[in-house]
Amino acid sequence: MTTHDKDRQEFLRLAGLATPMALRVAVTLGLPDRLSGEGAAAVDLAAELGQSPLALDLLLGHLTTLGVLERTSTGYRTTEYGAKLRADAGNGLAGLLDMNAAGGRGELAFVELAHSIATGQAGYIRRYGKDFWADLAENPHLRETFDRQMTQRFLTQVPRFVAGFDWSRFGTLVDVGGGHGSLLAAILKANPSMRGHLVDLAPTAAVAEKEMREQGLEDRAEVTAGSFFDPLPGGADAYLLSDILHDWDDEHAHRVLARCAEAAHPAGRVLVIEAVGGLGAQTEWDLVMLVLYGGRERRLDELRELAAAHGLVFDSVTTLTEQRSLLEFRLQDIP
């Protein structure tokens, strides 16, 4: 095979949609879970799941080629490799691929990438008739799967977030849009003298409150149901925005930073954990943020400019992981 032919095959592999969609459909149907153990025959599985027997067998055949399934004397069963796609695998893949979950549903908006490139706007609203956040608000199942996805996403990184920065400098920390509270809980447990306050929308805040009780932190951690577009609890030493700003266009990012700046006391800090362009952010995620939210992985100078509009002066950047950095801002000194 010539180099030209190899390049052509590689481009087709990169651009092909059959395999990515086959994996998404498999997870959405629960095939890796259902076919664990002894497995099942295609015709029986089709009747059970309400699928076309012929079409389902074609899907199972391709999944076998990929090594996700294997043929048996009675049908198909999940391989050890394919078991990584099970809902109970603990790696978050099922939530990201399931088209009935927030992550999988969001990925389908990539069919509108051309629209996003032409307009600079999210493709999600073009596909579904509402933006990502409105969709979550109207569908509790999507909200639940999104929160779970965010918790899973940080699972391996939280220890490095905690160890990579001196959180003990702050007596009080407000985690703005803190999700289920896994990061705040870890920070508080590592720094017994600190107190924390988490703010997130009501359904998420309810789970975070339970998390704090289970971690034995109810005496040092307060949870408030609310939006980061509304006034935040005032007077804390630091306000943390972890993977928040990249979810929004500049107009909304300004609104979030404005709330942090107005809430902080004069010596307070605003801490931004993000994948920063040029400092570890992956270009693929620029497109994910654009298509889903109309956002992007901003570069350091862009984040500095956003913050400066609200009297926030850039102090320092700390590398936490290969992908994420922590940017520290202080309120501008008043003469």
Catalytic residues: 246
Tokens of 105: 């549903």
- Rounded Cα distance between 232 and 221, Å, is 15
- Residue 38's Cβ-side half-sphere holds a number of Cα atoms within 13 Å equal to 5
Residues 256, 248 contacting (CB under 8 angstroms): yes
Count CB atoms within 10 A of the CB of residue 134: 13
CA angle 271, 276, 278 (to 5 degrees): 145
Q: What is the DSSP letter of 29?
A: T
* Rounded Cα distance, 219 and 213, in Å: 9
> Chain centroid to CA 40: how far?
34
Alpha-carbon gap, residue 316 to 304, rounded angstroms: 11
Task: Please state whether beta strands 76-78 and 269-274 pair in parallel, antiparallel, or not at all (unpaired).
Answer: unpaired
| Nearest one of 327, 281, 333 to 304, comparing CA atoms | 327
Question: Could you give the CA distance from residue 131 to residue 150 in angstroms, rounded to a whole number?
Answer: 18
Instruction: Centre a 10 Å sphere on the Cβ of residue 71 and count the other Cβ atoms it contains.
Output: 12
Antiparallel, parallel or unpaired: β 76-78 and 69-71: antiparallel
Measured between its terminal Cα atoms, the distance across the chain in Å is: 71
**Contact between 109 and 278 (Cβ < 8 Å):** no
CA–CA separation, 325 vs 65, rounded Å?
Answer: 40
